[in-house]
Chains A and B, each alone.
Chain A
Amino acid sequence: MAVQSEIGLIDELVRLRAELRRREREAADKELQLQRYAADLRETFKQERARAQELRRSYMATVRALSNAVEARDAYTGKHAERVAAYGLELARKFPEELILTPELEFGFLLHDVGKVAIPDAILYKPGALDDDERALMSRHPVIGSEIVQGIEFLAEAADVVRSHHEKWDGTGYPDRLAAEDIPLAARVFAVADVLDALTTDRPYRPACSLRYARAMITSESGKHFDPRVVEVFNTIDDHVFERIAAEIR
């Protein structure tokens, strides 16, 4: 009787041990399977990240090509767009709460004058003053430009700068005669960068001004052409920051 139950116990033990082994094998199989999923997930993520980087690079290359094409017509501005974009980013960096330094912001800076593709050479290159009709057409380039970029998904965010970069703080700018805070901050920042570059580069009708002179000009337009807060921030940035950019992009 005792022997019988002992044999039964041993049988039960063997059975349990086999069952345990089977479950261990199953658990190991499940683990391998999940590891396979995790490995694929990591690989997929890496590939996606590489593709996203490639996409960003080709966006940037496309925008640069487009901005170079716009500038190629304008013989004297050289690398104006690239310099302005660099100045603009330095200024934008000082508004960390309000402006995020995205590629889209830089796209807007680079393509601010893209609307000039629609302006005839005769107006763009006219040596003398423009008549009323010519000025009206010329002043439409921000509108045309913003329409161009709005049609392209990855450039849509650049439209603010493209459309509003000729607005003035006191409301006398164009095309929408926006004033003060109604002008998008990116465009207010850009306006300072744009004038800074215009003043500090040679033009057919005058040589380049010094940075000191440019600062004085811009400061005198604070509250008129420019947002006083942007001018204030601009004056806290050292000369060498702008000088380095001017030396690198020429």
Chain B
Amino acid sequence: MTHAVLIVDDDQFIRKLIATTLEDVAEFELHEAADGMDALEVARQTRPSLVFLDVDMPRLNGIETCRQLRQDDLTAGATIVMLTAAHGDHVESDAEQAGADLFLTKPFSPLDLLRLVDQHGERQAR
């Protein structure tokens, strides 16, 4: 069974990097969004089981996007991975309060990214 994965970052480079890393790793259907507003719309259409969410984005930031994803029944069940910068202090606690499940610190390790996706896959299988 294929899972939809949504990659949200205003930096096209990061989106491309994550998408390329996850290509062919599992039966994923990869979707991208460039900001929070886009993300909410794409998430409602594609019902992702996994969302990578950047914090700093124009229009709607990652924390607020996370909160709104959790409030919508269509998208509330997704595993949300916040992409945080190493020096963002209280971002993690804000994100946790907003309902984020996991964190990936930029610059992120592709191996950590793959491990995280594997763990997510195992949780889904259970």
Whether A associates with B in a native complex is yes
Chain A residues in contact with chain B, CB under 8 A? 26, 29-30, 32-33, 35-37, 39-41, 43-44
Does A36 contact B11, Cβ atoms closer than 8 Å?
Answer: no
Note all chain A residues with C-beta closer than 8 A to B88: none
Does B13 contact A30, Cβ atoms closer than 8 Å?
Answer: yes
Note all chain B residues with C-beta closer than 8 A to A30: 13
Q: Which interface residue of A32, A37, A39 has the most chain B CB atoms within 10 A?
A: A37
Does B109 contact A36, Cβ atoms closer than 8 Å?
Answer: yes
Note all chain B residues with C-beta closer than 8 A to A39: 109
Kindly list 14 other residue pairs between chains A and B, CB separation below 8 angstroms, not including A33-B108, A40-B111, A43-B111.
A26-B11, A29-B106, A32-B107, A33-B13, A33-B14, A33-B106, A33-B107, A36-B107, A36-B108, A36-B109, A37-B17, A40-B110, A41-B110, A44-B111
Does B11 contact A35, Cβ atoms closer than 8 Å?
Answer: no
Q: Which interface residue of B14, B108, B110 has the most chain A CB atoms within 10 A?
A: B110
Chain B residues in contact with chain A, CB under 8 A? 11, 13-14, 17, 106-111
Q: Bound state CA distance, A184 and B67, in angstroms?
A: 70
Q: Which interface residue of B14, B106, B111 has the most chain A CB atoms within 10 A?
A: B111
Note all chain A residues with C-beta closer than 8 A to B106: 29, 33
Does A37 contact B110, Cβ atoms closer than 8 Å?
Answer: yes
B107's contact among A35, A41, A43, A44, by CB below 8 Å, is which?
A35
Taking the nearest CB of chain A, how far is it from the CB of B70, in angstroms?
Answer: 28
Taking the nearest CB of chain B, how far is it from the CB of A36, in angstroms?
Answer: 4
